[in-house]
Amino acid sequence: MLTAVDVRKHFKGLNALDGASIDVQRGEIVGLVGPNGSGKTTLLNVLSGFTRADSGRIEIGDKKIDRLPSWEVMRLGIGRTFQAPQLPTRMTVMETMLCAAKLPTGESLFGAFLRRGKVREEEREAIERATELLTRLGIAGVGDQPATDLSGGQQKLLAMGLVLMRSPRLLMLDEPAAGVNPSLRRSMVNLLKGLTQGNEISMLIVEHDMEFVQRLCSRVFVLDKGVVVAESKPSELADNPRVVEAYLGKSRATEPASAAPTNAAGESR
């Protein structure tokens, strides 16, 4: 589904990615973990076309995506979330969901004025779908509120709803569980697990929360200083000395997993 080989990205004297290689098979949920500043978000940005890599080969399906702008990559059936959900302040939840829907007649100048019936029909269908999704995510009934009026956890769910509206075949999530309370985290796990039934969706999840990763991912890549230092099943991570070293480091005292990460210096968006 997704293959990335030897990706390198250099920022202002910092090697954010120094030859990272990962892959995601169809229907798999793959985790990407690593200490703060290891380059996880950068890698995600490169894989989704939001940052251009300096070198490396990246393929989604069979298509090389290294030269494509972000929206073209997304149109290949990719969906992604951001570490901080980038929701509009002056639009309602429902309008935001509609942005994620395919409403070609309403988008065109011609259609907006001369095919009003079709516009209405498309919107009606989209609203139905959106309502259904919002209910499934547990945030029904907030359709008319400004998107940013929702709580942090609800905003994360909305962000997920937005990606799901587009029925992606590959989902890239950037720290979906960060700042989310435990019970909500559990529902997220169940929701995401449900999506991959029957090989519908593949996922790449960047996370700090090890429990989240353990329950969801079949495979985990560990990133440290821009390189993949380990790839294994979640249960075997703690036994891997390279992993332990990456997190505890020789001089670093960072603890993996617990607190919600702030925007780490050195990790760009």
Partner 1 sequence: MSIAQVLVDSLLRAAELGLVALGLTIVYSLVKFANIAHVEFATVGAFIALVFAGSSTPSIAIAGAASAVIVGLLAIVLHRTFFKRLLRSGSAIPMIGSLALAIVMRALVQLSMGTRPSSFDRPLERAIEIGGAFITPLQLWLIAITLVTIAGFMIVLYRTKLGRTLRAVAANPELAAASGINVNLSIDLAWFFGAGFAALGGVLLALNTQASIQLGSTLLLPVFAVVILGGIGSPVGALLAAILIAFAENMILQVDWGSLVGDSSFYMPLSYDVAIGFVVLILTLLIRPQGLFGTAARDA
Partner 2 sequence: MLDFLLYVGIVASIYGIAAISLNLQAGVGGLLNFGQVAFFGLGAYGVGIASHRGLPLWMGVVGGIVAAALAGAAVGRLGRTLLADYWAIATLALAELLRLVFLNEEWLARGADGIGSIPGLWGAVSGTWRDVAILATVVSILVVVYLVAERLTKVQFGRVARLMREQPNLAAALGYDIVKVKVRVMMVGAAIAATGGALLTTYISFIGPGQLLPVDTFLVWAIIVVGGMGNHLGVIVGAVVVNLIYLGTRFANDYAKLDANTAASLRLLLVGLILMAFLMFRTNGLVPERLRTVDADGG
Residues pairing with 173 in the sheet: 205
Q: Least distance in Å: CB of 122 to partner 2? A: 7
Residues pairing with 221 in the sheet: 32, 231
Q: Least distance in Å: CB of 13 to partner 1? A: 11
Distances (CA, A) of 36 to 88, 176, 179, 223: 27, 16, 16, 10
Q: Least distance in Å: CB of 91 to partner 2? A: 6
Residue 24: strand, helix, or coil: strand
The contact mask relative to partner 2 for 182-221 (x = CB under 8 A, - = no) is: ----------------------------------------
Residue 174: strand, helix, or coil: strand
* Residue from 38, 45, 96, 154 binding partner 1 (CB under 8 A): 45
Q: How far apart are CA 137 and CA 246, in angstroms?
A: 35
Q: Which amino acid is at 207?
A: E
Closest CA to 182 of 209, 201, 162: 209
Tally of CB atoms within 10 A around 164: 21
Residue 58, Cα to own-chain centre: how many angstroms? 17
* Residue from 68, 103, 244, 264 binding partner 2 (CB under 8 A): 103
* Residue from 5, 52, 63, 112 binding partner 2 (CB under 8 A): 112
Q: Which stretch binds partner 2 (CB under 8 A): 13-21, 119-127, 188-196, 250-258?
A: 119-127
Q: Does 12 bind partner 1 (CB under 8 A)?
A: yes
Q: Does 67 bind partner 1 (CB under 8 A)?
A: no
The binder of 268, among partner 2, partner 1, none, by C-beta within 5 to 8 A per type, is partner 1
Q: Where does this chain bind partner 1 (CB under 8 A)? A: 11-12, 45, 51, 268-269
